[in-house]
Amino acid sequence: MSKLLGKVEGEVLHLDRAWETLSALKEFDGKRIEITIKEWKNTRRNRANRYYWGVVIPSVFKAFAENGIKLVNNDQAHEMMRIKFLMSDVNIKGQGTFRVPQSTTTMKVDEFANYIFVIIEYLRDYYKFIVPEPSEKI
């Protein structure tokens, strides 16, 4: 499956890399194809998600355990980090303002990377726990 990126100006589609488009078209020569057009959003990648759930969140769990804080599972560690670092105010008409944690699933790449960085710094500064780099194992 080919994914092509471009920009619409007026009623004209400008593809980012024309040579990739030609290559993709050759791949489907003589075949019926489906084309979907949607707004491109720079959302987080699977690699970052795997690092978060496979290294960062288990590190939160381990750092807390080493400091006498018992968590039930990684989901609870994730929720604690969301509550600690991703709170935002939501105004509900007639009820006032409530603080709720934001979701990580809709974060853009740079937002998610910053969130991970903040957690890593927090664990280092407050629990003296060093989170392994993406290539390391815990």
**Sign of the four-CA dihedral 68, 71, 77, 80:** negative
Q: How far is CA 52 from CA 27, 45, 94, 111, in A?
A: 36, 11, 38, 13
Quick one: CA torsion of 11, 12, 14, 18, rounded to 10 degrees? 140
> 124 near 137, Cβ under 8 Å?
no
What is the average pLDDT across 27-50?
A: 81
Share of the chain above pLDDT 70, in %: 91
What is the average pLDDT across 75-99?
A: 92
What is the average pLDDT across 70-79?
A: 94
pLDDT reported for residue 138? 46
Whole-prediction pTM: 0.66
Q: Return the DSSP state at 31.
A: S
**Sign of the four-CA dihedral 45, 50, 51, 56:** positive
